[in-house]
Every structure is written in structure tokens, then in C-alpha cells.
Amino acid sequence: MAAPLVSSLLAQAPPGEQPQVAASLRTLLADGAAVVDEQLAAAAEEHNLAQYWLVELEGGGKAPLCPDGRLPDGSFLEPRSGTALPFDHIARCVTASRPATADELAPAEAEELRRAVQTAAESFVREVYSPHGGVR
């Protein structure tokens, strides 16, 4: 019975406030910590994917989390480096990267197009956006 209410309250939490809302719910719900933790994990994952949360990559750079990049094991593909990124949605960090398998990578004919689109998008961002944020 508490799960739908907890899920709704966590989904409505302001950005970045889910952990504080979860802590308050744990206090309010006697014996509800397990329900809160379960719902927090689902709500955090939903929020991170909806907001295309940016992941800090080893060696510098960032990559967005998105539903289309999700691999069958729950990690996310970073196609530039061919890396699979397991992600902790509550802590919002990569837990341990690994090389993506051949089955997880795009076919060779699609990779050429992906690289061309990425190069064009990066060029657009450099031309239009300031390195310090905002439009030029």
C-alpha cells in the first residue's frame, strides 16, 4: 500500500532532492525503509534517464545516460570508447566500466554514420555554446 505513495512522492521531488525526501519518508513510515529504498532506486533511475544525466568518463569527458543506450545487463553503452558503464542511479556514478562486447556495439556500417553524427553535433556545440555555459 505504501509503495505507490512513496513512488509518487519520490517522483515529484525537486531535482536533486530525492535522497532528502527518501530520508524523510524512512522517518515517517515505520518499517518502511525497504519500500523506500526500492522505490528510490526506481525513481532515481527514471529521473536520470528522463534528464539524460551526464556521466563523468574516465580520462575526461561526459556522456549522457539515455534509454536507447541501455544494455541488457542494465549498464549503458558509451559508443565512442566502446565501453559499458554500470551506473549507480542513487549515487549517480559509474561503478566499474568494462569493454563492451561485439554484440553490444553497433554494426560496423552503423558506426560510420554514428561517428559522422557525433562529429557534427560536437562541432555545433563548440560553435553555439560557450565552454562556460550559455549560448554565445
Helix (H) or strand (E) holding 125: helix 108-128
Interatomic CA distance for residues 32 and 26, integer angstroms: 6
Entry pTM:
0.76
Looking at per-residue pLDDT, the higher value among 86 and 38 belongs to 86
Interatomic CA distance for residues 134 and 67, integer angstroms: 26
User: In the structure, what pLDDT confidence band is assigned to residue 3 with cuts at 50, 70 and 90?
Assistant: confident
Interatomic CA distance for residues 103 and 114, integer angstroms: 16
Residue type, 76: F
Tens of pLDDT, residue by residue over 57-113, are 888 888 899 999 999 999 999 998 999 999 998 888 899 899 999 999 988 889 999
Residue recorded with cell 545487463: 73
Interatomic CA distance for residues 54 and 65, integer angstroms: 6
Domain positions in the chain: 2-50, 106-136
User: In the structure, what pLDDT confidence band is assigned to residue 13 with cuts at 50, 70 and 90?
Assistant: confident
* Closest CA relative to residue 27, chosen from 4, 47, 48, 9: 9
- Name residues whose C-beta falls within 8 Å of residue 80's C-beta, 6 or more positions apart in sequence: 61, 63, 118
